[in-house]
Structure 1
Amino acid sequence: MIRHFFKLIWNKKRSNALLIVEILVAFLVLFGVMSLMAYNYQNYSRPLGFKYEQVWCINISWNQDTAQIGEKLKSIYQRIRSYPEVEIASRTNGNTPFANNQSNRNVKYNKVTIQGDIFSTDEHYAKTLGIELAEGRWYTRADKGAKHTPAVINQMAKEKMFGNENPLGKVIQLEGDERWKIVGIVENFKQRGNYQANTPAFFNLSDWDMSSVLVKVKPGVDANFEAKLMREIGNMQPDWVFELSYLKTLRKSMNQQTSIPSLIFSIVCGFFLLNVALGLFGVLTLNIAKRKDEIGLRRALGAPAPAITAHFVGEMWVIATLAVLVGLILAVQFPLLNVFDLEASVYVIGMLLATLTIYLLVTLCALYPSIQAARIQPATALHEE
């Protein structure tokens, strides 16, 4: 039967070639969309590595004021921590969770150099965000006098720099010959939202004039305390600018920035597939109308209606298979060449989902015209002939 299908397709190779190209393009578009969806799903299913509920972020800008910045920031920070509504607070730089702000540097260990996100914080950062350590410990104020700056890395940084080697106690080198000593390891830290991949992250103890404060408030704290807090710290430095935002709100906004383009891409792909489906449906309907004599003859020779339906659906499956095989040859180059530096599983899932969607689409488009063909009576076909 399959050999017969190939013979029929070869006899009409010119018209079938257009169908194959159309299905091939649809497969490649689906492969891109499905790979993107698989990538986003895999990232979303992995934990952030920290807790954002009940955490506020206060960004501080001192404009042209340069006098005793450190002392002024310290006073503001101490005032924030003194409120009974505040459970704990931590000073850090502007690349706070879910902020459109990054700090990247090259980090080297032996002959391995990678680029990672750098988070300069105080010793309360992990407790404020509920970061759990997988190995080692978080740095403390007692580490301040150490020869090398204490640092904590995430699991991705460990895998890329050290492989199976234990990184605890090792000294890494940053640009500018700065050296940090690793004292702890955390699992994930996805600062840019749920859809972000788990990229290398490095945390270090810093005493610089850090411009952001993360504040974890106690349960039940409402907007009244927010207004009071902003008013009082604003009065401490009237010329400075203070901006408060909730990490919960920032997370939602950051996730939307990633999901909305993916949604738009999916909608455009949906319209394209609709056009492909309408084209396939029209071509099949026209082909069946031209082959009424063939169908009538087969019916007169005793072919049952389900056999006629299966025949035309089978032809479309063979055409779809030829297109999908070419598409798979092109798609498999992505994991082999490590395009976009994504996991191979993302592309494999994309290929599987695209293949299943193509066969479902072809089956739905071929089913109704095939059923109509099966209803043709021999007498009607012979009469028209």
Structure 2
Amino acid sequence: MLKHLFKLIWNKKKQNSLLIVEILLSFMVMFAVFAFAVNSYQNYVKPIGIKYEHVWVINYNNTLKTQNSDSLTMFYEGLLRNIKAMPQVVDAGFSSTNVPFSSAHMSGGITVNGKRITYVNQFNVDDNYLNTLGATMLEGRWYNKQDGISKEKVTVINNTLKEKAFGKGSAVGKYFNDYDNKFKIKVIGVVNDIKFDGDYQTVGLSQYNRFDTSAYHWLQRILVKVQPNADAAFESRLYKFMANQMKNSNIEIEHLPNKLVAYNKFTLVPLIILSIVAAFLIINVALGIFGVLWYNINKRRGEIGLRRAIGASGSSVSSQLVSEALILATFSLIIGTFFAVQFPLLNVFDLSAGVYLTAIGFALIFIYFIVLVCSLYPGKQAAAIYPAVALHEE
């Protein structure tokens, strides 16, 4: 029976070639959709790494007329003390512009045992950063005031960078060089992974550097952890305080929960667009399969009638048409799977092999399901053809 089906399909290879190409394209699009979705889901179920629910971000620009470093240091340290002294503030600290869930990014590289590691996210922070965001130290310690006077350059890295640079062992006390091999940096701590790019993005390599007093010239963010009962009235008082302290400065207060929601929506836009494209393509393929099978039934009414006349049952006729459609789909999926397995082999887009293999499995099941559904009704119609009517028409 299978040999007979292959022969029928081969004899109509020109008619079936377009359908095979349509199914192949549908499989590749669905593979991309499922790969995106599986990767996003795996990232979503991982903890975000910080307690962001009651953290605000004060955005400002330095409009102070003085450029003296000591004066700026005294001003900003006093500003931070006054903010922390407010009754509804738990903690506060300065940060570079790449605060959590923002579009700002700063990246660099490091050199470990002669091997260069690129695309390391660089964060310039102060001693209060860890407690303000509620992150957790996995090894070693966070920064303190003694690090400001130390002659040795020290840093804190996240767990992902630690595993890439030093493996599963401890990284505390180990050294790496900057990207250009100009100076050594000592690791004093490893912090838990933080998803700065929202729920659906992969955790990147991160390095947290303690800024020196010269950074007050360009720092423009203050992270403020507030009490759960902090309301709009307190936000208004905080805004007025900042506006009075920093004349002519553009002050804006953002809430990290709102920034996370906005960033998540931005992240999901490509998946939504890809899903819409996939939906239109799947509809076209479904209509194509349905149309081809319907056309085959009308063209093969004599063949079907003859088969019924010599004793073939309606279910056998129906299963033949359904089997032909599934075999056509199999030809397409074999080709599509060959191309899809190249993604994990070549490590395309730096995703894990499990993501690609899961996406291949989902895409195969989905395409087979579509083909099966679209072929059942034409197969049922073929089974309902009466032998006498079909032979009389011939």
TM-score (norm 1): 0.96
What aligned pairs does 1:1-385 form with structure 2 within 5 A after superposition?
1-63=1-63, 65-67=65-67, 68-115=71-118, 116-175=120-179, 177-207=182-212, 208-209=215-216, 210-385=219-394
- Which amino acid in 2 is paired with 1:42? Q
Report if aligned partners of 2:112, 2:177 keep a CA contact under 8 Å in 1.
Answer: yes
- The number of aligned residues is 385
Report if aligned partners of 1:149, 1:205 keep a CA contact under 8 Å in 2.
Answer: no
Secondary structure of the residue aligned to 1:248 is helix
Aligned mates of 1:240, 1:78 — CA distance in 2? 19
Q: Which runs of 4+ in 1 moved over 6 A?
A: none
Task: Report the CA distance between 1:280 and its aligned residue.
Answer: 1.4
Secondary structure of the residue aligned to 1:61 is coil
Report if aligned partners of 2:63, 2:246 keep a CA contact under 8 Å in 1.
Answer: no
Task: Report the CA distance between 1:71 and its aligned residue.
Answer: 2.5
Aligned mates of 1:149, 1:121 — CA distance in 2? 15
Aligned mates of 1:66, 1:381 — CA distance in 2? 97
Aligned mates of 1:178, 1:277 — CA distance in 2? 62
Aligned mates of 1:301, 1:132 — CA distance in 2? 77
TM-score (norm 2): 0.93
Secondary structure of the residue aligned to 1:114 is strand
Report if aligned partners of 1:105, 1:117 keep a CA contact under 8 Å in 2.
Answer: yes
Task: Report the CA distance between 1:119 and its aligned residue.
Answer: 1.1
Aligned mates of 1:151, 1:321 — CA distance in 2? 54
Aligned mates of 2:252, 2:368 — CA distance in 1? 53
Task: Report the CA distance between 1:64 and its aligned residue.
Answer: 6.9
Secondary structure of the residue aligned to 2:97 is coil
Report if aligned partners of 1:121, 1:203 keep a CA contact under 8 Å in 2.
Answer: yes
Moved more, 76-85 or 134-143: 134-143
- Which amino acid in 2 is paired with 1:110? N
State, as a whole percentage, how many aligned pairs show the same letter. 41
Aligned mates of 1:194, 1:92 — CA distance in 2? 21
Question: Residues 240 and 179 (structure 1 numbering): CA distance in 2 closer, same or farther, change over 3 Å?
Answer: farther
Task: Deviation per CA, 1:157-182: give whole Å up to 9, x if none.
Answer: 01211123421101222246344321
Task: Report the CA distance between 1:76 and its aligned residue.
Answer: 1.6
- Which amino acid in 2 is paired with 1:241? N
Report if aligned partners of 1:87, 1:217 keep a CA contact under 8 Å in 2.
Answer: yes
Aligned mates of 1:7, 1:62 — CA distance in 2? 78
Task: Report the CA distance between 1:149 and its aligned residue.
Answer: 3.2
Aligned mates of 1:30, 1:218 — CA distance in 2? 46
Task: Deviation per CA, 1:236-258: give whole Å up to 9, x if none.
Answer: 12122221100011111111111
- Which amino acid in 2 is paired with 1:254? Y
Report if aligned partners of 1:50, 1:189 keep a CA contact under 8 Å in 2.
Answer: yes
Aligned mates of 1:233, 1:47 — CA distance in 2? 33
- Which amino acid in 2 is paired with 1:369? P
* Stretches of structure 2 lacking an aligned partner (at least 5 in a row): none
